[in-house]
Amino acid sequence: GAVVSQHPSWVICKSGTSVKIECRSLDFQATTMFWYRQFPKQSLMLMATSNEGSKATYEQGVEKDKFLINHASLTLSTLTVTSAHPEDSSFYICSASPAGSSYNSPLHFGNGTRLTVT
């Protein structure tokens, strides 16, 4: 149980275009999902916390107008990288915790999306 699916697993886009990444909890409902970015050989950097039905909370230094997050349902959160540039190329990962779980429940991660901007 507790499977998180991320789509697409990889995407190549041209500079200036926008890319949408989906994160779905397949067998549980998630009121909160997290979005991370990971550069090669570096750790996960929390970008934002996505709450169902409300605005996402962005970490310091993350441009909310560039990384649009929508958490429209209890099983789906999307991250849209707008006007992508080569420096946005990275590995984007989402995670979720089942609704109603205790505060210290582990997170379940998707398998990430490799974004390459040419």
Partner 1 sequence: SQKIEQNSEALNIQEGKTATLTCNYTNYSPAYLQWYRQDPGRGPVFLLLIRENEKEKRKERLKVTFDTTLKQSLFHITASQPADSATYLCALDMDMRFGAGTRLTVKP
**Positions in the binding site for partner 1 (CB under 8 A):** 4, 6, 34, 36, 41-44, 46, 91, 93, 95, 103-104, 106-112, 114
**Spatial CB neighbours of 46, under 8 Å, sequence gap ≥ 6:** 34, 35, 36, 59
Q: Which is nearer to partner 1, 75 or 112 (CB)?
A: 112
CB of 92 to partner 1, least distance (A): 10
Taking residue 18's Cβ as centre, other Cβ atoms within 10 Å add up to 12
CB of 49 to partner 1, least distance (A): 9
Q: Which is nearer to partner 1, 39 or 83 (CB)?
A: 39
Q: Which is nearer to partner 1, 41 or 65 (CB)?
A: 41
Q: Which is nearer to partner 1, 39 or 55 (CB)?
A: 39
CB of 45 to partner 1, least distance (A): 8
**Spatial CB neighbours of 12, under 8 Å, sequence gap ≥ 6:** 116, 117, 118
SS3 86: helix
CB of 110 to partner 1, least distance (A): 5
| Nearest alpha-carbon partner for 28 in 73, 61, 75, 62 | 75
